[in-house]
Every structure is written in C-alpha cells, then in structure tokens.
Structure 1
C-alpha cells in the first residue's frame, strides 16, 4: 500500500562527484537504500508543478516563508497511457518540516480531476480527505501545469540497528541524494 500522508525532514546539498564518492560509503554505515533503489541504482522521478500565470507559488516558496504549499503530479515512469499510475500530491512545509499528502490515481483520473473538476470516486477516508484538501487548494489558487521536472534519485533510510549510533525521530528517516 502506498503511503498517503507522511512527514519528513529534507536537507539538500550541492556536492561534487568526488564528495559524493566519499560520502556514499560513510552513509551506508548508518543508512540503507530505500526499496525503490533496485540493485542500489538510482530511479527516475517526473513531476509537473502547478502555478499561476504570475508564478506566485514558486515566488512565495523562494521567499522562505514559515508556511508554503505546492500542488504537483508525480510519476516514477514516463506516462504514456491514460491508465498509468500517478500520484497527485499536496506538499506543505511548515517551519522546515515537510508534510506530503497524496492520492494514487490513474493519469486520466488525475487530469479529469485537475482540469475538469471530476472527482475520483473512493470509499477510503484518507483518500477522500486528501481529495478535499486538493479541492480546497484548487478553489483558492488559479493554477495550471507550469513546470516539468525530471531527475534521477538515490534515496536512503536510516538503519537503526543496535550497532547504529544515529539519532533519528523515527525508525525510518529518508535521505535523498
């Protein structure tokens, strides 16, 4: 089952290839590759971010406010079919802590919802709550697809075995490189 809502801390750094090559073996003393890094390889992410004609969402985000939120449509493969699975996400950041709410839909369901207001049917309470939040966001923000970002990622989770000395707020804390 896909995680529908989660909280995490994100730290992003720009490093050189040499720094990366030195860092990975040290990280593996405390962390393990996430389940999507098949054979310890990167995986791809494709996102469409929604904004208005004046780019107010990204302008607000860049200003480093206490609270910000973004709507995005995400996929882990190139979407070429209406039945392909995508994730419609409302990403919120409050005082540096990221909360992401998402629903798993087909590409067609996501586009019908975003462009035509046709709400996907679901009996799941959490899915309905996420849809309510996205509907509220859309009713208060006149947004449309604005930016496509695709990248390759290698993600890690903290390994809190007894030999580990890392101090984390939960048993699995993501780290993305």
Structure 2
C-alpha cells in the first residue's frame, strides 16, 4: 500500500446516498475517476473522548472550530503493521488533518501517557491535545468499507464511498475484528468529496442532476447521538419503573 501524506488541508463535502443514487453516480463517474492507491479497504478507528463526551458534545453544537483525535488502521491492526494517530481539526469549511505513523503498542501507550510520542511537530501537537484534555480515553470504535477514487484530470480531487459503517462502545481495540451496529440504513453509502479548491463544474452538474445534496454528517457524531438517545430512553424507563 502506498504511503499516504501526513498533513492534509482541504475541503471535505459529504453526501448521504441511497442505493439508486450510489449505483447511478458510480456508473456515471466511470470515465472520469481512477481507483487511488488504497482502492477498496476496511478502515478501523478508535475515537478518543472524555468520560462526559466533551469533544462529541462540542461538535454537535456546530461550532466554527472543532477537533477530534482518533487511532486508525487499515484492516484490523497487526503487531508489525503501522497504525496512525490522527488529529483532525475543522475551521469553518476547511479541514486540517495531521497524523503520525506508529506501531500499535506505541500509539496506545503514547495516548495513555506511559510512553512519549515522537518528538516531531505533529507528535508534539498530539501530545498537547492529549494533555489538554487530561482524561481522554477510547470512546467509540468505528469501521467501514471504503472505495477511494481520484479524478483523472486532477489527482487532488478525491471521492470516497463508505458503506457498512459499524460502531460499538465495547471492545475498543483496533486488533479486534470489525463488528458493531450499523450506522446507516441498508443500501445507503456516504460519499465524501475532498478537494483543495472548488468543485469542477462537471461534478456540480452531475450531483444536481442526480438530486444529491450536501449534508452535515459525522460518523462519530452520529454514533454519539444514537448512544445518547438510548441512554436517555433507559433513564426514562428507570424513572417510570
């Protein structure tokens, strides 16, 4: 697998597709896209948060600035396979992502504070984030199947389609197999368009023709909302009992 950049700065636009939109869009894009170096892959993530979900709650308030930290692997993590600690920030419509590559044990111990993270600019930024939110711990596991493409005429224009998005709040380890509860309805796919500039006119017209509209969607945020609603329902039942 090709090495991915460690620093990103780009716009990320999200679209929730039904089964028909997904199939039609892929068919119409065949002549314009190429599979990227990652192609089809299973992406596994551990999202870190405080015990009271401070980061998730802040994100749901739709602020102009928000940030989150996750540990990511491509497929279930293995002993000698690298994982990525990623610090993702969003200011208005621009996403900034910085990450470091580490062995799984070093990443986990680094987040626990029992082992220093690399003494690099990105490593120091992640260490500062960890220390600022003093009680960070693994909060949610999220995995999904991703198809990734780039435009033939502009490699910086990337499109990814995520399906089989699963989440859980138990078994928060990257070396465990992907499993959990589905985040989307059957047949749905999440399209993310990632670009450093405005969308090309041909793509805007195609999305308009297929009635595919931009949406605000956070996988971690949606999982948190689902968990919160279930906790509130449990509390109501216990109150009425």
Aligned counterpart in structure 1 of residue 104 of structure 2, from 72, 83, 107? 107
Question: What is the TM-score of this pair, normalised by structure 1?
Answer: 0.83
Displacement of 1:99 in angstroms is: 0.9
Relative to its length, the structure with more strand (as a share) is 2
- Give per-residue Cα distances to partners, 1:2-55, cap 9 Å, x unaligned: 311011222222111111111002223332221111xxxx31000000000111
Match in the other structure for 1:134? 126
- SS of 1:54 mapped into structure 2: coil
- SS of 1:72 mapped into structure 2: strand
1:2 maps onto 2:4 in alignment = yes
Superposition pairs of residues 1-177 of structure 1, within 5 angstroms = 1-37=3-39, 42-81=40-79, 83-121=80-118, 128-141=120-133, 142-160=135-153, 171-177=155-161
Moved more, 97-106 or 11-20: 11-20
What is the aligned residue count?
158
Displacement of 1:134 in angstroms is: 0.5
Moved over 4 A (4+): none
Displacement of 1:119 in angstroms is: 1.6
Unaligned runs of at least 5 residues, structure 2: 162-241
Larger relative contact order (Cα-Cα within 8 Å, sequence gap ≥ 6): 1
- SS of 1:19 mapped into structure 2: helix
- SS of 1:88 mapped into structure 2: strand
Contact 2:44 2:142 in 1 (8 A): yes
